[in-house]
């Protein structure tokens, strides 16, 4: 049995009782078993089977990316500067229609490589051929909440087959990879799934006792269409269909009125805020300060690399901290520490992993990252919480651990073959476009 002791590091724990300090942390059997300020106690030094010199490094919880489509990394830069529906219907969907399981595997591996290298340890993924994504999670050592996202604009027999596929995936993979994989149930969006079809997903989520995930209110057009087609705005619509009787994470939620914010708070629905994707597709700016004020758990997602165009969650943290100040005119909204919570603790909470990951705290899983501090943009040492929110980028990440296992050392991937992944991803893209 190994017991790792990290000594003389700087820690930003995201645990409010001891937010930041210079000190030590001990890891055993995949969990954080102790941490504290100052020199490690003699008893810790005695128990350690391995010691790491933490000087020059900042340790923090691994980041949690709560919305994405990893396999779409193959489409990065394929079509930019277009409106959402044009981009989706004329560029993304036609190319995605040609995806095989192989494309999903290598696209997801490309995403996993990028996420690990930029400090993400847990991610949410909604796509098709999900068992291939699960394989990537298993092999990479990451933690993930996976879901077969189903578009229901199809004949009834196809609808049935897709729902069955989503259910089978949940049965096969929920709790797999030593518990690192959990599963959610996902009708793609209110505008791509008829109401009675959404109800079947709600029923399945109840039967399987799983949370739900969907896209919601990403664009104004989508909200207007919902009112036209069903008589209600998306929040009330989904509430009436029973979705919010399950723990639910909605992605985007850009266009909300006050009543919708209140209802999301009342139903304890979590929101995955995707600021970069929402800006790039000109969807708008979500009312995040109001959501947080109402008590809604707001976490951060990159969305796919096709609408971002990277998977660097530090960029989302920085964007969340910056954007809402400028747009609201209030420089005090979403201060640095709140933006970091959105990328860590709120991320874990939004997918039911509070108490598992998202903080450095005794008893939690050892999902953590280390950033190199000896860089110009981290000097002077005024406040590392500020530096993490406003100055850091994913490339500052030197080391990554999940479940106590190291996935990245000195910027090199330990569980994935980066060179092979880059080549295979390029090959898949060539075939898709050929």
Tell me whether residue 318 or residue 350 sits nearer to its own copies (CB atom). 318
Kindly write out the interface string for residues 154-173 of this chain, putting x where it contacts its own copies by CB under 8 A and - elsewhere: --------------------
* Residue 268: count of CB within 10 angstroms of its CB: 12
Judged by CB under 8 A, does residue 8 bind its own copies? no
DSSP output for 408-429: EETTEESSS-HHHHHHHHHHHH
Site for its own copies in 272-301 (CB under 8 A): 276, 278-285
Binding footprint of its own copies, residue count (CB under 8 A): 74
Tell me whether residue 189 or residue 397 sits nearer to its own copies (CB atom). 397
Report in angstroms how near the CB of residue 166 gets to its own copies at its nearest: 28
Site for its own copies in 188-217 (CB under 8 A): none
Tell me whether residue 305 or residue 366 sits nearer to its own copies (CB atom). 305
CA distances, 408 to each of 109, 133, 144, 185, 370 (Å): 15, 20, 17, 31, 10
Report in angstroms how near the CB of residue 408 gets to its own copies at its nearest: 12
Tell me whether residue 77 or residue 155 sits nearer to its own copies (CB atom). 77
Kindly write out the interface string for residues 99-138 of this chain, putting x where it contacts its own copies by CB under 8 A and - elsewhere: -----------xx-xx--x---------------------
Site for its own copies in 77-106 (CB under 8 A): 77-78, 80-84, 87
DSSP output for 230-280: HSS-HHHHHHHTTGGGS-EEEEE--S--HHHHHHHHHTT-EEEE-HHHHHH
CB 388 within 8 A of CB 318: no
Report in angstroms how near the CB of residue 165 gets to its own copies at its nearest: 27
Cα 290 to Cα 294: distance, rounded to the nearest angstrom: 6
Q: Which of 165, 110, 183, 95 is nearest to 140 (CA)?
A: 110
Q: Which of 279, 273, 198 is nearest to 238 (CA)?
A: 198
Report in angstroms how near the CB of residue 236 gets to its own copies at its nearest: 24
In 281-408, which ranges are continuous DSSP H helix?
288-293, 313-328, 336-343, 345-350, 384-386
Judged by CB under 8 A, does residue 326 bind its own copies? yes
Of 134-142, 175-183, 240-248, 416-424, which segment contacts its own copies by CB under 8 A?
A: 416-424
Beta strands in 114-269 (DSSP E): 120-127, 143-150, 181-183, 186-187, 212-216, 248-252
Burial of 372 by CB count in 10 Å (0-12 exposed, 13-18 middle, 19+ buried)?
Answer: middle
CB 254 within 8 A of CB 286: yes
Given candidates 1, 381, 410, 434, which one binds its own copies under the rule CB under 8 A?
A: 381
Site for its own copies in 345-374 (CB under 8 A): 374
Tell me whether residue 53 or residue 330 sits nearer to its own copies (CB atom). 330
Tell me whether residue 130 or residue 336 sits nearer to its own copies (CB atom). 336
Given candidates 310, 361, 405, 406, which one binds its own copies under the rule CB under 8 A?
A: 310
Judged by CB under 8 A, does residue 410 bind its own copies? no
């Amino acid at each position: 049995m190994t017991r790792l002791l990290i000594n003389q590091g700087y820690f930003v724990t995201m645990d409010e009782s001891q937010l930041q300090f210079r000190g030590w942390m001990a890891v055993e059997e995949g969990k954080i078993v102790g941490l504290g300020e100052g020199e490690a106690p003699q008893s810790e030094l005695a128990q350690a089977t391995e010691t790491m010199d933490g000087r020059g490094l900042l340790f923090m919880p691994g980041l949690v990316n709560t919305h994405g489509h990893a396999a779409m990394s193959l489409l990065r830069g394929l079509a930019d500067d277009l409106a959402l529906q044009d981009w989706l219907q004329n560029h993304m969907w036609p190319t995605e229609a040609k995806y095989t399981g192989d494309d999903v595997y290598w696209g997801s591996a490309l995403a996993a490589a990028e996420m690990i290298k930029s400090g993400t340890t847990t991610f949410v993924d909604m796509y098709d051929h999900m068992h291939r994504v699960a394989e990537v999670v298993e092999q990479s050592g990451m933690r993930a909440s996976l879901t077969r996202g189903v578009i229901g604009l199809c004949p009834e027999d196809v609808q049935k087959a897709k729902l069955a596929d989503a259910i089978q995936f949940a049965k096969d993979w929920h709790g797999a990879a030593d518990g690192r994989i959990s599963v959610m149930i996902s009708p793609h969006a209110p505008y791509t799934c008829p109401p009675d079809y959404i109800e079947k997903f709600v029923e399945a989520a109840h039967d399987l006792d799983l949370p739900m995930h969907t896209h919601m209110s990403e664009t104004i057009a989508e909200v207007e269409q919902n009112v036209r087609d069903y008589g209600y705005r998306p929040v009330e619509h989904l509430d009436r269909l029973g979705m919010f009787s399950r723990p639910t994470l909605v992605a985007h939620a850009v266009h909300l009125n006050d009543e919708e914010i209140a209802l999301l708070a009342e139903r304890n629905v979590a929101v995955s805020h995707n600021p970069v994707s929402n800006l790039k597709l000109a969807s708008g700016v979500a009312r995040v300060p109001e959501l947080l004020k109402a008590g809604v758990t707001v976490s951060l997602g990159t969305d796919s690399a096709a609408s971002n165009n990277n998977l660097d969650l530090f960029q989302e943290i920085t964007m969340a901290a910056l954007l809402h100040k400028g747009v609201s005119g209030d420089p005090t909204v979403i201060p640095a520490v709140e933006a970091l919570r959105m990328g860590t603790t709120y991320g874990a909470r939004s997918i039911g992993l509070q108490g598992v990951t998202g903080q450095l705290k005794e008893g939690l899983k050892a999902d953590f990252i280390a950033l190199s501090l000896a860089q110009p943009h981290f000097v002077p040492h005024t406040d590392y919480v500020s530096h993490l929110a406003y100055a850091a980028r994913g490339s500052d990440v030197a080391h990554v651990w999940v479940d106590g296992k190291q996935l990245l050392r000195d910027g090199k991937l330990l569980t994935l073959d980066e060179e092979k992944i880059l080549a295979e991803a390029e090959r898949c893209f060539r075939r898709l476009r050929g």
